[in-house]
Amino acid sequence: MTVTGSRGRRERLRVETTAEIKKVALALMASGGPDAITLRAIAREMGMTANAIYGYFPTRDDLVTTLINDVYTALADAVDAAWEATSAADPAVRIEAWANAFRTWALVNPQGFRLIYGDPVPGYQAPEGGPAPDAARRVCTGLTALAAAAWPHARNLYHDSIFDWSDFDPGLLEKVRPAFPDLPPAAVALALRIWGHLHGLVSLEVYGHMRTQTTSPEKLFQEELAQLTQTLGIPRRR
Amino acid sequence: MTVTGSRGRRERLRVETTAEIKKVALALMASGGPDAITLRAIAREMGMTANAIYGYFPTRDDLVTTLINDVYTALADAVDAAWEATSAADPAVRIEAWANAFRTWALVNPQGFRLIYGDPVPGYQAPEGGPAPDAARRVCTGLTALAAAAWPHARNLYHDSIFDWSDFDPGLLEKVRPAFPDLPPAAVALALRIWGHLHGLVSLEVYGHMRTQTTSPEKLFQEELAQLTQTLGIPRRR
DNA sequence: TACAGAAACTTCACGGCGTATAGTTTCTGC
DNA sequence: GCAGAAACTATACGCCGTGAAGTTTCTGTA
């Protein structure tokens, strides 16, 4: 091995090419949806043969899996950042910031949202383990933080909760329980329900199903947030 | 034209073949998802050439559009039936019946749910008009009925509503306002929000995103319904 | 009943897709 | 300087939707 590492050169080129493949794939996705991610189109864009990509990803599904991971991570970063940017003193503001960041990200990256949450791509089957679930967990952990922030106000609404820890995935609890030791199972259930609420409204909007019903999905979402904080018993801010 | 109508024979065969194409397409979809709907596979199954199908549907997207219409109509029928099967006297039971019918249909016909609400198929673009929006409207009208049933209890929660009629699609209002003349815009917004809630939870479940978080999505959904009726101010039954 | 024409269907062809196999070029470390 | 690995290309196969042209079968009418 030389001083500057000529072996490192190959490796660097490899990393760069891998990055370019992903970059081109994401660009194709942004302009034509998840289905536009074809090896041949990527190769065409890069001045390569489609088969060259097989040196970097064993199969198209592996490429898609990697992209899902990256995009999901970007979403998790966005909502985390919105959360961190607000003060813990005002739960309502925090929750609204998180939710708005979620929706805004989805509207800015509709194809990314589809990639993550839709049929990702023709016959794609999600692998069991891997890093994409990690990003999902980050989002869920963020949601639990949201529920935790509301819990002091909301706890009395859930006295007769039917949930216990066995109702949840161990992998999720592993992340969540250490972070929020005092939180009961009912709060995790609340977090998942809120996830469902927000996901539903956003996904109907992103997929265009709202367009034929309402002209102002924005208003609908803000109403949702207002009702959410109110339902959670959080005093209105200002 | 003969007495029994020999022209009618051609027509009957035509109708039958059209029906068979759709039947086979739905079967393919049920077993392999929306992407398994290929003209060649359908033709193979029917002992025909793929191009023969062009005599019945101008393009594959038109076939898919027809299927979406049929499947969406089936969903609308299912929830309508559940609604009709319950008494108007107990709004909580009615609402829960409607929502459970929605979720159950989705779990029994996951591929149908994907066809309706997902990326329907690789590059498919939904046409503007057509009968599929009609089924969507039926579902939304059902939801409005749901909101209407709850409105006597829930109205005082929405005194400072920000909605007016211009926030909604005229086509929707055309259906909804005659059916529920006394309902304010806020109730329609509530209906759409409830749609979002239910759609979100069900779609996360159908697409498998819940599987890595909770082991009992059923419990989560029932909790959702319990909280929903409670939030709407409907007295708990029994 | 014979026949023109329409309808139903097949054959052939094109380009696009993922991907397997085999061959070629280019780089790297000794 | 050279063996071997790594990167990449060429060719091929079987899928796909779809267009054009040809063939068979049915049907209403003369």
In angstroms, what separates the C-alpha of A6 from chain B's closest C-alpha? 43
Mean pLDDT, chain A, rounded, equals 90
Q: Give me the pLDDT at residue A124, please.
A: 47
The reply to whether B14 has its C-beta less than 7 Å from any atom of strand D is no
CB contact under 8 A, A193 and B227: yes
In angstroms, what separates the C-alpha of B126 from chain A's closest C-alpha? 9
Ordered domains of chain B (ranges, CATH): 1-57 (1.10.10), 59-231 (1.10.357.10)
Instruction: Using CB atoms within 10 Å of the CB of residue B38, give its burial: 0 to 12 exposed, 13 to 18 middle, 19+ buried.
Output: middle
pLDDT band at B4; cut points 50, 70, 90: very low
CB burial string A112-123: b at 16+ within 10 A, e below: bbbbbbbbbbbe
CB contact under 8 A, B166 and A197: no
Tell me how far apart the 2 most distant CA atoms of chain B are, in Å: 69
pLDDT band at A3; cut points 50, 70, 90: very low
Q: For A85-131, where are the alpha helices, taking DSSP H only?
A: 91-108, 110-117
The reply to whether A17 has its C-beta less than 7 Å from any atom of strand D is yes
User: Which residues in chain B have Cβ-Cβ distances shorter than 8 Å to A135?
Assistant: none
Give the chain B residue nearest A170 (alpha carbons).
Answer: B213
pLDDT score of B94 more than 50: yes
pLDDT score of B174 more than 80: yes
Which of A61, A72, A169, A220 to mutate to test binding with chain B, by most B CBs within 10 Å of its CB?
A220
Report the C-alpha gap between A97 and A108 in whole angstroms: 16
A146: CB partners within 8 A, 6+ apart: A83, A94, A95, A98, A191, A194
The reply to whether B14 has its C-beta less than 7 Å from any atom of strand C is yes
User: Which residues in chain B have Cβ-Cβ distances shorter than 8 Å to A220?
Assistant: 189, 192-193, 196
DSSP SS3 for B112: helix
DSSP codes, B200-216:
HHHHHHHTTSSTTTBS-
Report the C-alpha gap between B143 and B137 in whole angstroms: 10
Residue nearest to nucleotide D19 (CA to C1'): B51
Q: Give me the pLDDT at residue A122, please.
A: 44
pLDDT score of A162 more than 70: yes
What are residue B33's phi and psi, to 5 degrees?
80, 170
Q: Give me the pLDDT at residue B128, please.
A: 52
**In Å, what is the separation between the CA of B50 and the C1' of D21?**
16
User: Which chain C positions have some atom within 7 A of a protein CB?
Assistant: 7-12, 16-22, 27-30
Q: Give tens-digit pLDDT for B127-168.
A: 555 557 789 999 999 999 999 999 999 999 898 899 999 999
Alpha-carbon distance values, B93 to B42, B63, B100, B142 (Å): 42, 38, 10, 15
The reply to whether B80 has its C-beta less than 7 Å from any atom of strand D is no
Report the C-alpha gap between B123 and A31 in whole angstroms: 12
Q: Give tens-digit pLDDT for B24-33.
A: 999 999 999 9
The reply to whether A13 has its C-beta less than 7 Å from any atom of strand D is yes
Give residue A2's Cα distance to chain centre: 43
Report the C-alpha gap between A126 and A145 in whole angstroms: 27
Q: Give me the pLDDT at residue B2, please.
A: 39
pLDDT score of B84 more than 80: yes
Residue B191: half-sphere exposure toward Cβ, Cα within 13 Å:
29
The average pLDDT across A158-185 equals 95
Report the C-alpha gap between B200 and B198 in whole angstroms: 5
The reply to whether A162 has its C-beta less than 7 Å from any atom of strand C is no
In angstroms, what separates the C-alpha of B172 from chain A's closest C-alpha? 6
The average pLDDT across A45-72 equals 96
In angstroms, what separates the C-alpha of A64 from chain B's closest C-alpha? 15
Of the candidates A75, A41, A81, the residue with the CA atom closest to the CA atom of residue B123: A41
Lowest-confidence segment of A225-234, B4-13, B136-145 by average pLDDT: B4-13
Cβ atoms of B214 and A167 closer than 8 Å: yes
Report the C-alpha gap between B215 and A199 in whole angstroms: 19
Give the chain A residue nearest B128 (alpha carbons).
Answer: A212
Q: Give me the pLDDT at residue B123, please.
A: 43
Report the C-alpha gap between B219 and B226 in whole angstroms: 10
Q: Give me the pLDDT at residue B192, please.
A: 98
The reply to whether B39 has its C-beta less than 7 Å from any atom of strand D is yes
CB contact under 8 A, B123 and A167: no
